[in-house]
Amino acid sequence: MNILLAIAVLGSIAALFGALLGFASIRFKVDADPIVEQLDALLPQTQCGQCGYPGCKPYAQAVADGEAINKCAPGGEDTIKKIADLMGVEVLPLDDNHETDNRPKVAFIIEEDCIGCTKCIQACPVDAILGAAKQMHTIIIDECTGCDLCVAPCPVDCIEMRVLPETIQNWQWDLTNIPVKQLD
Amino acid sequence: MTDYLLLLISTVLVNNFVLVQFLGLCPFMGVSSRTETAIGMSFATIFVMTLASLLSYLVTTYLLVPLNLEYLTTMSFILVIAVVVQFTEMVVHKTSASLYRLLGIFLPLITTNCAVLGVALLNLRLQHNFFESIIYGFGASVGFSLVLVIFSAMREKLTNADVPTPFKGAAIAMITAGLMSLAFMGFTGLVKL
């Protein structure tokens, strides 16, 4: 008799709490993970895929699920630091798979060598390559994000990444490089 | 009134759950590498512990004791704690996504924080009444939070300190915790209950 009472008591407590949790799960429902949106906003939106994901949004989703934060080469150190702040993890140096030189670069087609195969056009995520089959291709510098996705598919290796020359238009203040000392 | 105040001080400082009674060491070591996370964890734990000690008091006094089922206390306490933690998790997820992200796995792990079950069981053993139970739970979690936040602040400083290689990482954290425990022993005899 006593054991039945025990089962009934525990069962009813469990049922009561279960109902409470069921109610709470409806009342406090979270539609989408807002952290993904915040991460996506921090990423440079080059959609270059150097992180191994098809674009910035999928990488944001992956970071939210625990992927390493140091895979965004175009974003560089700045982006890693911002992601680390948002996620509450340690800042990591950029992944070894990527070169650390993150000066802005654009692809450059050595036009004498181009055979007009259109393979780089298909690889370009931002349509920055102009050309047609059996016609020489060229890069629209203003559109190129420097993602270097077009370099690998070229069968004659006529695409190289060149550092953008610094002009008055794209020169940026690099205030962090000026040493600032706090005096007591 | 004075009794309640004394009970609060004694649970926060003299009988500190982490450093004197050695309960809840897992989150103490696990969540203390960043102060921000530690503060988030502290608030979650304060909420869970206070609510869990209140609910477990109600369950024992109005359900288990009248029906002569005291042997079910541990089981029903775990049920109560699990529900409170789940509920907290849902509320935190809804209200603060970044806190939810910071706490990560440690939020559901409050369920297995032995300090929470410890509070409920100690309330029973020390035969606390309703208000004493709440104050004991609140005091225990405030003590836990105090120590956790102090410890995490120290660990943040330690990451910049020049620590000999064999002591790097967990080793120096353990030593720090031991020294803190020694320091808290200094509170013994502050309050006699």
Q: Which residues of B touch A5 (CB under 8 A)?
A: 67, 69
Q: Closest Cα of chain A to B29: distance in Å? A: 16
Residue A15 domain flag:
no
Q: Does B131 touch chain A (CB under 8 A)?
A: no
Q: Report the share of chain B in percent with pLDDT over 90.
A: 16
3-state SS track over B67-136: CCCHHHHHHHHHHHHHHHHHHHHHHHHHHCHHHHHHHCCHHHHHHHCHHHHHHHHHHHHCCCCHHHHHHH
Q: Which domain holds residue A49?
A: 34-87
Q: How many domains does chain A have?
A: 2
Check which CATH number belongs to the domain holding A72 and give it. Answer: 1.10.15.40
Range scoring the smallest mean pLDDT among A164-178, B50-64, B149-163: A164-178
Q: Closest Cα of chain A to B36: distance in Å? A: 8
Distance, C-alpha B169 to centroid of its chain: 24
Closest residue in chain A to residue B91, using alpha carbons only: A28
Whether the CB-CB separation of B157 and B173 falls below 8 Å is answered with no
Q: Do A88 and B75 touch (CB under 8 A)?
A: no
Residue A177 domain flag:
no
Of B37, B68, B101, the CB nearest to A35: B101
Check which CATH number belongs to the domain holding A124 and give it. Answer: 3.30.70.20
More confident residue, B118 or A172: B118
pLDDT at A99: 58
Q: Does B2 touch chain A (CB under 8 A)?
A: no
Q: Do residue A82 and residue A113 come from a single domain? A: no
Of A13, A25, A87, the CB nearest to B90: A25
pTM of the complete model beyond 0.80: no
At B143, is the pLDDT very low, low, confident or very high (cuts 50, 70, 90)? very high
Of A9, A20, A33, the CB nearest to B63: A9
Q: Do residue A119 and residue A72 come from a single domain? A: no
Q: Does A10 touch chain B (CB under 8 A)?
A: yes
Q: Does B65 touch chain A (CB under 8 A)?
A: no
- Reported ipTM exceeds the 0.85 cut: no
Residue A21 domain flag:
no
Question: Helix, strand, or coil here: B144?
Answer: helix
Q: Do residue A76 and residue A129 come from a single domain? A: no
Residue A159 domain flag:
yes
Whether the CB-CB separation of B128 and B54 falls below 8 Å is answered with no
Domain ranges across chain B: 2-185
- The residues that bridge with A139 in the sheet, in sequence order, are A129
Q: Do residue A83 and residue A121 come from a single domain? A: no
Best mutation target among A13, A31, A42, A89 (most B Cβ atoms within 10 Å) is: A13
Closest residue in chain A to residue B102, using alpha carbons only: A88
Tokens of A96: 């070894």
Residue B167 has pLDDT above 90, yes or no: no
Residue A180 domain flag:
no
Query: How many CB atoms lie under 10 A from the CB of residue A59?
Result: 24
Q: Do residue A67 and residue A43 come from a single domain? A: yes
Q: Does B80 touch chain A (CB under 8 A)?
A: yes
Q: What is the pLDDT of residues B31-41, one digit of tens each?
A: 788 888 788 78
How far is Cα B59 from Cα B46, in angstroms, rounded to an integer?
20
Residue A6 domain flag:
no
